[in-house]
Amino acid sequence: MSRHKPKKKERKTTTTPKPKPITKSQFPAWWTNVRLHSLLIFAVCFLLYSNTITHDYTQDDAIVIYDNMFTTEGAAGIGGILKYDTFYGFFKEEGKANLVAGGRYRPMTLVLFALEWQLFGKNPTIGHLMNILWYGLTCMMLYWLLLRLFRGRKNEDFVYFIALATTLLFAAHPLHTEAVANIKGRDEIITLLGSLAALYFSLRAFDEKKPLWAILAGILFFLGLMAKENAITFLAIVPLSFFVFRKANIGQIATQLAPFAVATIAFLAIRTSILGLDISEPGIELMNNPFVKLESNRWVSFTGGEWLATIFYTLGKYVQLLFVPHPLTHDYYPRHVDIMSFDDWRVLLSVVVYVAMAAYALFRLPKKDIISYGILFFLITLSIVSNIVFPIGTNMSERFMFMPSVGFCLVVATLLWRLVEWQQKGTKITSIKQLNTGLIAVGIISLLFGAKTFTRNFTWKDNYTLFTTDIKTSPNSAKLRNAVGGELFTQSVKEQNETKRTKMLNDADGHLAEANRIHPTYKNAYLLRGNVNNYLKKYDESISYYNKALQVDPDYQDAINNLAITYTNAGQYFGEVKHETDKALSYLNEGIKLRPNDVETLRLLGIAHGVKGEVNKTLDYLTRALEFAPDNASVLYNLGAAYYQLNDPVKAQEYMDKAKAIDPTIGRQ
């Protein structure tokens, strides 16, 4: 009997499914080349602002650079820069530096200006070039920060698209021209650079577990604060960033925030030691407090409704300018922005927009939505310049959007990415061709922004170009009307053609009249009108305007000095040109009351009395003049002439010889 081997139990075999083929990415190598992207970003920044390199100083450059006694000392002035309010080096006296509520302590950029002065002297070309370089570095830092924020995400094409798109939109945005094309605007650039760099190294400290990066973050943040106070908003941006982009618990976030807190405490301690603890409300002066109005010939504060409505109008204007940056102006002073109310649809629309933004951001924040992050970045950094937290001395300014626009650009880039995803209908993006819609949109927007930026830069060529261009956009700004009038007056003095000079002076007077219509107690406008009418030889009008300035401020020394000069000029004009001696004497007598020791007024009084035959009075005035100016050839010569009238030829010749020894041409026709 044969044995049969038992059959082996057949195993049920399960076939392992073959893995799906991995679709090979068709993105070119340059798409992830960080160095190439960085060079591209810097090149874009340089090209966009290259036409500013040959520009002059403009606007507030005088305050922080060429008329600042510390900056113009070069390195030797750094001690004074660190010791005083930012404006002290310009006003050169206590009190005036604190014209704006709370004062200003922003020494970082003044130190940079002082070092540039030390190396290159008064050189606006260097100032503009350095602004471009700092701006280029800031944009590269933004790009690096975005790559770091999104680090670890599997969707690499998304990371590079968002980082590159956000940065290019930011680099090209026309609202940044005020910060970059105006040398003084460097405080905005350095503040953002320090803040972005601080967040970047804080993230590196967390990711790489290297505490030294956290220390560096604190140092960079401190330098940002020393450039401008609005860096302090990053005390909220830092924890927000860790919440959205890192799986960090409260303790870890607090640890990363600690160097920022230490830097802030150090900055505030220094600032307080310089400026004190005064956080008083701004005074009732329209150019330093836009929220006042004239009622029954006295200035009063806005009502609560007017204050809030006006603020919301400006907040809405910011959003409009971010999307459509036209028209642009450097001046939003009263009444370019008028007194607003909640009856105005623009105010109501702004309220709706901001409520919607805040609601979306807070609702989507737990989902760690990038658009939510971008909106909150915008709102947080905007808060400090909104006039809601504390008064900033003006309604709004384009440079105030420099930091908040980072959030705006991030939101736009993210929306463009979502547009691409919607087009792909859930299909995985594996080719750069699939990004065409997004890339083309970024390119078109950047080109449009860039074209506007490049052309807008020309406006910042010099004060004359800036003021006379922007007055077309801001005709209701008292400050800009005053600036145009002042600049036309300055340029008219250099004009050789009499007809052109007279036209410039009349145009200047027209702008200054508008400044006083808008702001009836604008003492500087009255002062400049006095100057203009003095040059036009309209002496009575000139005297009237100086007196109006003194009605506003009885201690206004510039008005007192210029009024005295005008009396002297009027006396000379009516005596020597019009030959109206009595009228000349009436002006000269008023002038000598204001300047009892003025040599020229005393000399002219002596001559006028001599014309009337009152020789004893002539001798009295000329002798007094000689006491103050013993080597004045004109006084000596006129004294000689007086003694000839008194039939004393010996003494007459003695004085005339002394005069000719000083000035051999005196007495020649």
Query: Is residue 22 pLDDT above 80, yes or no?
Result: no
- Tracing tokens 């105010």 back to the chain, one arrives at 347
Show which of 440, 457, 474 is a domain's final residue.
Answer: 457
Do the Cβ atoms of 274 and 105 come closer than 8 Å? yes
Q: What pLDDT shows up at residue 98?
A: 54
Closest CA to 467 of 490, 449, 451: 490
**CA dihedral sign of residues 170, 175, 178, 181:** positive
- 587 found inside a domain: no
Q: Is the domain of 260 the same as that of 310?
A: no
CA angle at 358 for the pair 354 and 360, rounded to the nearest 5°: 115
Q: Is the domain of 201 the same as that of 79?
A: yes
Query: Is residue 65 pLDDT above 80, yes or no?
Result: yes
Q: Is the domain of 265 the same as that of 298?
A: no
Q: What pLDDT shows up at residue 16?
A: 43
Q: Is the domain of 358 the same as that of 435?
A: yes
- 596 found inside a domain: no
Q: Is the domain of 328 the same as that of 391?
A: yes
- The share of the chain scoring above pLDDT 70, in percent, equals 94
Condensed to tens digits (0 to 9), the pLDDT of residues 91-114 reads: 887 655 555 656 789 999 999 999
Q: How confident is the model at residue 70 (pLDDT cuts 50, 70, 90)?
A: very high
Query: Is residue 588 pLDDT above 50, yes or no?
Result: yes
Q: Is the domain of 250 the same as that of 306?
A: no
- 304 found inside a domain: yes
Do the Cβ atoms of 100 and 393 come closer than 8 Å? yes
CA angle at 636 for the pair 598 and 668, rounded to the nearest 5°: 110
Q: What pLDDT shows up at residue 18?
A: 46
Q: Is the domain of 87 the same as that of 180?
A: yes
Range scoring the smallest mean pLDDT among 17-21, 25-29, 150-154, 635-639: 17-21
Q: Is the domain of 301 the same as that of 380?
A: yes
Range scoring the smallest mean pLDDT among 97-111, 248-262, 486-500, 549-563: 97-111
Q: How confident is the model at residue 153 (pLDDT cuts 50, 70, 90)?
A: confident
Strand residue runs (E) in 255-362: 292-295, 298-301
Q: How confident is the model at residue 15 (pLDDT cuts 50, 70, 90)?
A: very low
Strand residue runs (E) in 260-342: 292-295, 298-301
Q: How confident is the model at residue 278 (pLDDT cuts 50, 70, 90)?
A: low
| Mean pLDDT across the chain | 93
Condensed to tens digits (0 to 9), the pLDDT of residues 185-216 reads: 999 999 999 999 999 999 999 999 999 999 99
- 663 found inside a domain: no
Residue 190 exposure: Cα atoms within 13 Å on the Cβ side: 24
DSSP string covering 474-542, please? -TT-HHHHHHHHHHHHHHHHH---HHHHHHHHHHHHHHHHHHHHHSTT-HHHHHHHHHHHHHTT-HHHH
Show which of 397, 431, 457 is a domain's final residue.
Answer: 457
Do the Cβ atoms of 286 and 334 come closer than 8 Å? yes
- 73 found inside a domain: yes
Query: Is residue 390 pLDDT above 50, yes or no?
Result: yes
Q: How confident is the model at residue 431 (pLDDT cuts 50, 70, 90)?
A: confident
Q: Is the domain of 268 the same as that of 299?
A: no
Query: Is residue 12 pLDDT above 60, yes or no?
Result: no
Task: For the chain, state the CA radius of gyration.
Answer: 34
Environment class of residue 398 by beta-carbon count within 10 Å: exposed (0-12), middle (13-18) or buried (19+)?
buried
Cis ω for the linkage preceding 11 (within 30 of 0): no
Q: Is the domain of 269 the same as that of 318?
A: no
Q: What pLDDT shows up at residue 429?
A: 86
- 284 found inside a domain: no
CA 245 to chain centre: 33
Structural domains counted in the chain: 2
Query: Is residue 7 pLDDT above 60, yes or no?
Result: no
Q: What pLDDT shows up at residue 21?
A: 39
Query: Is residue 17 pLDDT above 50, yes or no?
Result: no
SS3 of 160-192:
HHHHHHHHHHHHHCHHHHHHHHCHHHHHHHHHH
Q: How confident is the model at residue 27 (pLDDT cuts 50, 70, 90)?
A: confident
Q: Is the domain of 269 the same as that of 395?
A: no
pTM for the whole structure = 0.92
- 154 found inside a domain: yes
Q: Is the domain of 229 the same as that of 320?
A: no
- 212 found inside a domain: yes
Environment class of residue 558 by beta-carbon count within 10 Å: exposed (0-12), middle (13-18) or buried (19+)?
middle
Could you give the 3-state DSSP secondary structure of residue 645?
Answer: helix
Q: What pLDDT shows up at residue 155?
A: 80
Structural domain containing residue 238: 29-275
Condensed to tens digits (0 to 9), the pLDDT of residues 399-420 reads: 999 999 999 999 999 999 999 9
- Partnered with residue 298 across adjacent β-strands are 295
Environment class of residue 94 by beta-carbon count within 10 Å: exposed (0-12), middle (13-18) or buried (19+)?
exposed
Show which of 412, 436, 457 is a domain's final residue.
Answer: 457
Q: What pLDDT shows up at residue 430?
A: 83
**CA dihedral sign of residues 376, 381, 382, 388:** positive
Do the Cβ atoms of 224 and 109 come closer than 8 Å? no
Q: What pLDDT shows up at residue 440?
A: 97
